[in-house]
Structure 1
């Protein structure tokens, strides 16, 4: 059974790689492709190798849409609006031979919760990461008159089914999982890194690793505007503070404490038995951490300096690791996709496509697209250029 997975940024490719491995174990034939005509698409060779060991093909968007229309299963791993666009275009290209469509989230759902769900709601199988997400998506479906039989509580496909026991020995290695746009302002970002520098000086016996989201010049979904590499060039770093670009999944197992504001790397750390603190010097929508308040892990840097590290709330752990018993999240997702393709589980796409909400959404989008075209004709620059051309023709005539 042919399963096409499509991704356009590094964390999406990592997700696609994990699902592809699960598909292969379940008896399917995975095929991973990267579109070359949708930005960001310039994934470097190092990023590809770090994301997946499986072969990857680069193709134009339209070619991938045609390949998807001829596949048994397709899994677009994009940001929400691009997932919706892809599903719509595959639907139009495939006609009655529509492949089974899967969709999911490459990280914790921390913002645009309902908008993100709606962008993925046309999938036959929508892999849901947590029980809280499932409740919100199901409530949205009920409110909009959409069937919710496509919602699969699987857990995040990047994670194992269960966590390792939390290590409680001395803290010798500390890892900051930096984010490209959290916090966003340059002053706030410099403050975060300066606090880490001060922490390294306060604890000279500890190795402190600052891991940027990506190297300068690399492409990712959220592109880093203010790099810690540039910051480090203006500071004198203590010898125990190092900027480290190695893949984060190789750094987490050897770390005793992971710090981050709101990166999904925290869940990978918890799964590996590494202690976690969400830096709470900023709390709010811009920091993407209000949905992390139930974790019990938010700490200001003053607390982190003093080793006042919390432990995860058991209810929150059960929420974000819903697959503690049974197959791992990627396995659950892959098995459901293949079961739907084999006719052993119901297909949902056509019912969702035909729903009054989805049909109206497409009609509204078409009207707005037409109006956008008209509006571009009447921008001040175009109007002025048109007036100038008419004046020149009048003079010349």
Structure 2
């Protein structure tokens, strides 16, 4: 190869939802050396939240290839197809299963890729459980200084190697800084699929949002939704706001919007949420941001993460014209407005790829010795044996699924989503009688 030729960095991303695909693909691009050519191969883990074509197009990330796979199919691809960097954008159990599967698949390889994982946004629940399920990757990315400190403390507290923890920032932070009020002044409520959970709480938030629009007819009030009915994101949404608003008399200055969050923020003057990661995107751009206290400041809501931020406020205060002012020290600890956030991670990956003799086998903290009553169940859910080998009968296709198989899959997903969004709430209400 001529000295002037640029080496192509081969990157694979495995994701299980639209949000995690966005995080994984953008993280991969940030981790590549500056100016490097990248070949990005995307793999979507087959399951209840596998993104639709519309969701993928809304993410706006292009891949050189993109295919839907089972865990067994992905592991076989990783055993046969070379790559330099692998990003696992999955729930914790999925990461742990794939790490053990890769350890088995790469048992005889010294040239395995660097394996990276992390979190899509704010880590406000299941910190220890989620972290230990991600242990074993070469890099476990922390989206802020605060998270890096917490992650290392958990690993060191159980005697696990903490050198994998690497501080970065959320890869989708960006966009033009806020320069002042738009015409019309625009208030955006960033909805979340699972927070709050109950119908009463979601109807309350919707009523307050519509009420704000009525009190301020000069403002544009937008309800920013993550997905359309029938689609799933990272979390199950049993009571979508589209359903709750149906039949409601709303003012002309209130409407529902979809699309890329960054594009919505381009015209936002006040971002309101319960605990969405959109709050960090908004703070990064200097947009006034309110984290609601109406339903309490509670771990179950995730808004407890924002204590000390200066952003906590109620609809009563916002209706009266309050604009929260963030605490700059708190913002700095959250990886917001950080420069060079991915430099350390790039350097670490370069060191690992350049090391003599290749990389050692993956070594997750959970093993048949440390978690014999926990690990086998996690692996079995992905059709893997306790040693990471695919179980007999594990899904593995030699070719793309035919049209009949695709129709059956779509029908099964539709039935599942109907059960989650229609049948389950009815049964729950009947149980409360």
TM-score by length of 1: 0.84
Offset of residue 82 of structure 1: 0.7
Could you say if the C-alpha distance between residues 169 and 341 of structure 1 is closer, same or farther in structure 2, counting changes exceeding 3 Å? same
Aligned to 1:72: 84
Counterparts of 1:219 and 1:227, CA distance in 2: 11
Could you say if the C-alpha distance between residues 221 and 367 of structure 1 is closer, same or farther in structure 2, counting changes exceeding 3 Å? closer
Offset of residue 221 of structure 1: 1.4
Counterparts of 2:308 and 2:176, CA distance in 1: 21
Offset of residue 20 of structure 1: 3.4
| Residue of 314, 318, 321 corresponding to 2:328 | 314
Counterparts of 1:190 and 1:313, CA distance in 2: 31
Could you say if the C-alpha distance between residues 178 and 157 of structure 1 is closer, same or farther in structure 2, counting changes exceeding 3 Å? same
Q: Is the 8 A contact 2:283 2:336 kept in 1?
A: no
Counterparts of 1:109 and 1:349, CA distance in 2: 28
Aligned to 2:229: 216
Q: Is the 8 A contact 2:187 2:270 kept in 1?
A: yes
Offset of residue 73 of structure 1: 2.2
1:150 equivalent in alignment to 2:164:
yes
Could you say if the C-alpha distance between residues 65 and 362 of structure 1 is closer, same or farther in structure 2, counting changes exceeding 3 Å? farther
Could you say if the C-alpha distance between residues 179 and 322 of structure 1 is closer, same or farther in structure 2, counting changes exceeding 3 Å? closer
Offset of residue 347 of structure 1: 5.8
Counterparts of 2:266 and 2:228, CA distance in 1: 21
Offset of residue 235 of structure 1: 0.9
Q: Is the 8 A contact 2:169 2:338 kept in 1?
A: no
1:46 equivalent in alignment to 2:54:
yes
Deviations 1:313-343 (A, max 9, x none): 1121111126723x244x6545533442222
| Residue of 336, 342, 357 corresponding to 2:348 | 336
Long gaps (5+) in structure 2: 1-8, 382-433
Q: Is the 8 A contact 2:284 2:337 kept in 1?
A: no
SS at match of 2:352: helix
Could you say if the C-alpha distance between residues 236 and 315 of structure 1 is closer, same or farther in structure 2, counting changes exceeding 3 Å? same
Aligned to 1:4: 12
Counterparts of 2:27 and 2:44, CA distance in 1: 18
Q: Is the 8 A contact 1:73 1:341 kept in 2?
A: no
Long gaps (5+) in structure 1: 373-397
1:305 equivalent in alignment to 2:305:
no
Q: Is the 8 A contact 2:224 2:256 kept in 1?
A: yes
Could you say if the C-alpha distance between residues 228 and 117 of structure 1 is closer, same or farther in structure 2, counting changes exceeding 3 Å? same
Structure with max Cα Rg: 1
Counterparts of 1:284 and 1:340, CA distance in 2: 41
Could you say if the C-alpha distance between residues 136 and 238 of structure 1 is closer, same or farther in structure 2, counting changes exceeding 3 Å? same
Q: Is the 8 A contact 2:142 2:148 kept in 1?
A: yes
Offset of residue 67 of structure 1: 2.3
Could you say if the C-alpha distance between residues 371 and 109 of structure 1 is closer, same or farther in structure 2, counting changes exceeding 3 Å? closer
| RMSD over equivalenced CA pairs, Å | 2.7
Aligned to 1:16: 24
Could you say if the C-alpha distance between residues 370 and 297 of structure 1 is closer, same or farther in structure 2, counting changes exceeding 3 Å? closer
SS at match of 1:239: coil
Q: Is the 8 A contact 1:164 1:271 kept in 2?
A: no
Could you say if the C-alpha distance between residues 105 and 367 of structure 1 is closer, same or farther in structure 2, counting changes exceeding 3 Å? closer
5 Å-filtered alignment, 1:185-224, equals 185-224=198-237
Could you say if the C-alpha distance between residues 359 and 333 of structure 1 is closer, same or farther in structure 2, counting changes exceeding 3 Å? farther
Deviations 1:229-248 (A, max 9, x none): 12222211100000111222
Counterparts of 1:12 and 1:269, CA distance in 2: 19
Offset of residue 168 of structure 1: 4.9
| Residue of 10, 31, 45 corresponding to 2:40 | 31
Q: Is the 8 A contact 2:292 2:303 kept in 1?
A: no
Q: Which piece of structure 1 moves more, 225-234 or 52-61?
A: 52-61
Aligned to 1:384: none
| Residue of 95, 99, 113 corresponding to 1:83 | 95
Could you say if the C-alpha distance between residues 265 and 308 of structure 1 is closer, same or farther in structure 2, counting changes exceeding 3 Å? same
1:253 equivalent in alignment to 2:262:
no
Q: Is the 8 A contact 1:159 1:328 kept in 2?
A: no
